[in-house]
Protein backbone atom coordinates (compact mmCIF):
# COMPACT_ATOMS: atom_id res chain seq x y z
CA UNK A 1 0.00 0.00 0.00
CA UNK A 2 1.50 3.33 -1.02
CA UNK A 3 0.70 6.30 1.26
CA UNK A 4 0.60 10.07 0.76
CA UNK A 5 -0.39 13.18 2.68
CA UNK A 6 -1.62 16.39 1.04
CA UNK A 7 -1.14 19.34 3.39
CA UNK A 8 -3.27 22.33 2.40
CA UNK A 9 -1.52 25.54 3.42
CA UNK A 10 -2.64 28.06 0.79
CA UNK A 11 -5.19 29.96 2.89
CA UNK A 12 -4.82 33.63 3.74
CA UNK A 13 -5.69 33.49 7.44
CA UNK A 14 -8.28 36.27 7.34
CA UNK A 15 -9.78 35.42 10.72
CA UNK A 16 -6.35 35.29 12.35
CA UNK A 17 -5.84 38.79 10.98
CA UNK A 18 -2.05 38.93 11.09
CA UNK A 19 -1.74 40.08 7.48
CA UNK A 20 0.37 37.15 6.33
CA UNK A 21 -0.64 33.72 5.02
CA UNK A 22 -1.56 31.65 8.09
CA UNK A 23 0.88 28.79 7.42
CA UNK A 24 3.76 31.31 7.65
CA UNK A 25 2.75 32.66 11.04
CA UNK A 26 5.16 31.63 13.84
CA UNK A 27 3.83 29.44 16.65
CA UNK A 28 6.19 29.75 19.63
CA UNK A 29 9.19 30.40 17.37
CA UNK A 30 8.55 27.93 14.54
CA UNK A 31 6.32 28.49 11.48
CA UNK A 32 2.87 26.90 11.61
CA UNK A 33 3.68 24.97 8.41
CA UNK A 34 6.95 23.65 9.88
CA UNK A 35 5.11 22.43 12.98
CA UNK A 36 2.39 20.80 10.84
CA UNK A 37 4.99 18.95 8.75
CA UNK A 38 7.07 17.68 11.67
CA UNK A 39 5.09 14.45 12.39
CA UNK A 40 4.95 13.50 8.69
CA UNK A 41 8.64 12.68 8.58
CA UNK A 42 8.42 10.38 11.62
CA UNK A 43 5.72 8.01 10.31
CA UNK A 44 6.24 4.25 10.40
CA UNK A 45 5.89 3.70 6.63
CA UNK A 46 7.28 5.73 3.70
CA UNK A 47 4.86 8.55 2.92
CA UNK A 48 4.78 10.99 0.00
CA UNK A 49 4.14 14.58 1.05
CA UNK A 50 2.54 17.25 -1.14
CA UNK A 51 2.21 20.77 0.25
CA UNK A 52 -0.28 23.16 -1.34
CA UNK A 53 1.04 26.69 -0.78
CA UNK A 54 0.15 30.29 -1.66
CA UNK A 55 1.24 30.84 -5.29
CA UNK A 56 3.55 33.71 -4.30
CA UNK A 57 5.38 31.74 -1.57
CA UNK A 58 6.36 28.50 -3.31
CA UNK A 59 10.13 28.90 -2.85
CA UNK A 60 9.76 29.80 0.80
CA UNK A 61 7.50 26.78 1.24
CA UNK A 62 10.06 24.49 -0.46
CA UNK A 63 12.67 25.62 2.08
CA UNK A 64 10.35 24.90 5.00
CA UNK A 65 9.61 21.43 3.59
CA UNK A 66 13.31 20.67 3.02
CA UNK A 67 14.20 21.70 6.57
CA UNK A 68 11.34 19.67 8.05
CA UNK A 69 12.27 16.59 5.99
CA UNK A 70 15.93 16.81 7.03
CA UNK A 71 17.83 13.63 6.29
CA UNK A 72 14.62 11.73 5.55
CA UNK A 73 14.91 12.59 1.78
CA UNK A 74 11.31 11.57 1.04
CA UNK A 75 9.28 12.38 -2.08
CA UNK A 76 7.87 15.84 -1.59
CA UNK A 77 6.24 18.35 -3.89
CA UNK A 78 5.05 21.92 -3.41
CA UNK A 79 2.24 23.16 -5.65
CA UNK A 80 0.23 26.40 -5.82
CA UNK A 81 -3.22 26.47 -4.22
CA UNK A 82 -6.53 27.81 -5.48
CA UNK A 83 -9.01 30.44 -4.41
CA UNK A 84 -10.77 28.17 -1.90
CA UNK A 85 -9.87 25.03 0.06
CA UNK A 86 -11.76 22.84 -2.42
CA UNK A 87 -9.52 24.05 -5.29
CA UNK A 88 -6.38 23.70 -3.16
CA UNK A 89 -7.20 20.06 -2.32
CA UNK A 90 -7.78 19.34 -6.00
CA UNK A 91 -4.38 20.86 -6.84
CA UNK A 92 -2.75 18.62 -4.24
CA UNK A 93 -4.51 15.48 -5.47
CA UNK A 94 -3.48 16.25 -9.07
CA UNK A 95 0.19 16.37 -7.99
CA UNK A 96 0.18 12.80 -6.65
CA UNK A 97 1.45 9.87 -8.70
CA UNK A 98 -1.27 7.33 -9.63
CA UNK A 99 0.69 4.67 -7.70
CA UNK A 100 -0.57 6.15 -4.40
CA UNK A 101 -3.29 3.97 -2.85
CA UNK A 102 -4.27 5.97 0.22
CA UNK A 103 -4.17 9.75 0.66
CA UNK A 104 -4.69 11.81 3.78
CA UNK A 105 -5.78 15.44 3.38
CA UNK A 106 -4.60 17.65 6.25
CA UNK A 107 -5.01 21.31 7.24
CA UNK A 108 -1.68 23.01 7.95
CA UNK A 109 -3.70 25.09 10.41
CA UNK A 110 -4.06 21.94 12.62
CA UNK A 111 -0.37 22.32 13.27
CA UNK A 112 -0.08 20.34 16.52
CA UNK A 113 -1.72 17.14 15.25
CA UNK A 114 0.33 14.22 16.59
CA UNK A 115 1.84 11.50 14.37
CA UNK A 116 -0.40 8.93 16.08
CA UNK A 117 -3.46 10.53 14.47
CA UNK A 118 -1.97 10.14 10.97
CA UNK A 119 -1.14 6.48 11.72
CA UNK A 120 -4.66 5.82 13.04
CA UNK A 121 -6.32 7.28 9.93
CA UNK A 122 -3.98 5.50 7.49
CA UNK A 123 -4.55 2.16 9.22
CA UNK A 124 -8.34 2.58 9.25
CA UNK A 125 -8.50 3.46 5.52
CA UNK A 126 -6.33 0.49 4.64
CA UNK A 127 -8.40 -1.88 6.77
CA UNK A 128 -11.85 -0.63 5.72
CA UNK A 129 -11.33 0.68 2.16
CA UNK A 130 -13.64 3.56 3.17
CA UNK A 131 -13.13 7.24 3.93
CA UNK A 132 -12.00 7.95 7.52
CA UNK A 133 -12.29 11.06 9.71
CA UNK A 134 -10.86 11.66 13.19
CA UNK A 135 -13.72 12.73 15.44
CA UNK A 136 -14.27 13.98 18.99
CA UNK A 137 -17.50 14.00 21.01
CA UNK A 138 -19.34 17.32 21.24
CA UNK A 139 -18.97 18.62 24.80
CA UNK A 140 -21.38 21.58 24.84
CA UNK A 141 -25.14 21.20 25.03
CA UNK A 142 -26.35 21.77 21.46
CA UNK A 143 -29.58 23.66 20.61
CA UNK A 144 -31.49 24.10 17.38
CA UNK A 145 -32.39 27.79 16.95
CA UNK A 146 -34.63 29.93 14.78
CA UNK A 147 -33.11 33.43 14.87
CA UNK A 148 -32.81 34.10 18.62
CA UNK A 149 -35.53 31.62 19.57
CA UNK A 150 -34.26 28.32 20.93
CA UNK A 151 -36.40 25.49 19.53
CA UNK A 152 -34.94 22.33 21.07
CA UNK A 153 -31.95 20.54 22.53
CA UNK A 154 -30.27 18.26 19.98
CA UNK A 155 -29.16 14.82 21.20
CA UNK A 156 -25.40 15.32 21.25
CA UNK A 157 -24.68 11.63 21.80
CA UNK A 158 -25.22 11.22 18.05
CA UNK A 159 -22.93 14.17 17.15
CA UNK A 160 -19.16 14.51 16.75
CA UNK A 161 -16.78 17.26 15.69
CA UNK A 162 -14.40 16.19 12.93
CA UNK A 163 -10.76 17.09 12.36
CA UNK A 164 -8.05 16.32 9.84
CA UNK A 165 -6.20 14.40 8.50
CA UNK A 166 -9.11 12.78 6.67
CA UNK A 167 -8.13 9.68 4.72
CA UNK A 168 -9.39 8.05 1.51
CA UNK A 169 -8.51 5.63 -1.27
CA UNK A 170 -6.92 8.08 -3.76
CA UNK A 171 -8.74 7.00 -6.93
CA UNK A 172 -12.14 7.22 -5.24
CA UNK A 173 -11.41 10.65 -3.72
CA UNK A 174 -10.28 11.99 -7.11
CA UNK A 175 -13.51 10.74 -8.68
CA UNK A 176 -15.55 12.32 -5.88
CA UNK A 177 -13.82 15.70 -6.32
CA UNK A 178 -14.32 15.54 -10.09
CA UNK A 179 -18.11 15.58 -9.65
CA UNK A 180 -18.37 17.52 -6.39
CA UNK A 181 -20.46 20.58 -5.60
CA UNK A 182 -18.22 23.21 -4.03
CA UNK A 183 -20.58 23.60 -1.06
CA UNK A 184 -19.11 20.65 0.87
CA UNK A 185 -17.04 21.96 3.78
CA UNK A 186 -14.71 19.02 4.18
CA UNK A 187 -13.21 16.21 2.15
CA UNK A 188 -15.38 13.57 3.80
CA UNK A 189 -18.44 15.56 2.70
CA UNK A 190 -17.20 15.47 -0.90
CA UNK A 191 -16.52 11.73 -0.63
CA UNK A 192 -19.91 10.98 0.90
CA UNK A 193 -21.78 13.09 -1.65
CA UNK A 194 -20.36 10.70 -4.27
CA UNK A 195 -22.12 7.83 -2.52
CA UNK A 196 -19.12 6.52 -0.58
CA UNK A 197 -18.93 5.41 3.06
CA UNK A 198 -17.06 7.41 5.70
CA UNK A 199 -16.08 6.02 9.12
CA UNK A 200 -14.70 7.71 12.19
CA UNK A 201 -11.74 7.01 14.46
CA UNK A 202 -10.92 8.86 17.70
CA UNK A 203 -9.51 12.36 17.20
CA UNK A 204 -7.06 14.23 19.44
CA UNK A 205 -7.61 17.49 21.34
CA UNK A 206 -4.24 18.77 20.03
CA UNK A 207 -5.51 18.50 16.43
CA UNK A 208 -7.68 21.63 16.84
CA UNK A 209 -7.55 24.18 14.01
CA UNK A 210 -5.82 27.50 14.58
CA UNK A 211 -8.43 29.94 13.29
CA UNK A 212 -8.37 32.95 15.64
CA UNK A 213 -5.82 34.75 17.85
CA UNK A 214 -7.19 32.81 20.80
CA UNK A 215 -6.38 29.51 19.04
CA UNK A 216 -2.87 30.77 18.31
CA UNK A 217 -2.35 31.54 22.00
CA UNK A 218 -3.63 28.08 22.90
CA UNK A 219 -1.21 26.45 20.42
CA UNK A 220 1.69 28.47 21.85
CA UNK A 221 0.90 27.39 25.41
CA UNK A 222 0.68 23.73 24.35
CA UNK A 223 4.11 23.95 22.67
CA UNK A 224 5.61 25.61 25.77
CA UNK A 225 4.09 22.93 28.02
CA UNK A 226 5.48 20.19 25.72
CA UNK A 227 8.95 21.76 25.87
CA UNK A 228 8.72 21.77 29.67
Binding positions for ligand CTP, rule: CB under 6 A: 8-15, 22-23, 52, 81-85, 88, 107-109, 209, 211
Q: Which has the closest alpha carbon to 113: 166, 66, 72, 185? A: 166
Shortest Cβ distance from residue 26 to ligand CTP (Å)? 15
Task: Measure the CA–CA gap between 137 and 54, rounded to whole angstroms.
Answer: 33
Q: Where are the alpha helices (H) located in 95-212, listed in sequence order?
A: 115-128, 170-178, 187-193
Supply φ then ψ for residue 134, to 5 degrees. Answer: -80, 135
Q: Which does 3 bind (CB under 5 to 8 A by kind): ligand CTP, Mg ion, none?
A: none
Q: Which is nearer to ligand CTP, 48 or 216 (CB)?
A: 216
Q: Which is nearer to Mg ion, 21 or 31 (CB)?
A: 21
Q: Which has the closest alpha carbon to 93: 185, 41, 167? A: 167
Q: Which is nearer to ligand CTP, 214 or 228 (CB)?
A: 214
The residues in 6-25 that bind Mg ion, with binding defined as CB under 5 A, are: 11
Shortest Cβ distance from residue 182 to ligand CTP (Å)? 12
Task: Measure the CA–CA gap between 36 and 26, rounded to whole angstroms.
Answer: 12
Q: Which is nearer to ligand CTP, 12 or 149 (CB)?
A: 12
Shortest Cβ distance from residue 122 to ligand CTP (Å)? 20
Q: Where are the beta strands (DSSP E) in the chain?
A: 3-8, 26-27, 30-31, 47-53, 76-80, 102-107, 131-137, 142-146, 149-154, 160-162, 166-169, 198-202
Which value, to the nearest 10 degrees, does the dihedral of the CA atoms of residues 223, 164, 122, 58 take? -80
> By CB under 5 A, which span of 5-13, 65-73, 103-111, 129-137 interacts with Mg ion?
5-13
Q: Which is nearer to Mg ion, 11 or 131 (CB)?
A: 11
Q: What is the CA radius of gyration of the chain?
A: 17
Q: Which does 80 bind (CB under 5 to 8 A by kind): ligand CTP, Mg ion, none?
A: none
Q: Which does 31 bind (CB under 5 to 8 A by kind): ligand CTP, Mg ion, none?
A: none
List of residues contacting Mg ion (CB under 5 A): 11
Amino acid sequence: MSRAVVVVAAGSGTRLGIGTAKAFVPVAGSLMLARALEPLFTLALPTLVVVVAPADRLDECRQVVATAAGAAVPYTAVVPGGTDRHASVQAGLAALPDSVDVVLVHDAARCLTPASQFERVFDAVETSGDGVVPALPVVDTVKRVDGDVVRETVDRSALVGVQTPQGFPLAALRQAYAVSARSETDDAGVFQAAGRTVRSVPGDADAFKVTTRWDLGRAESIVRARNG
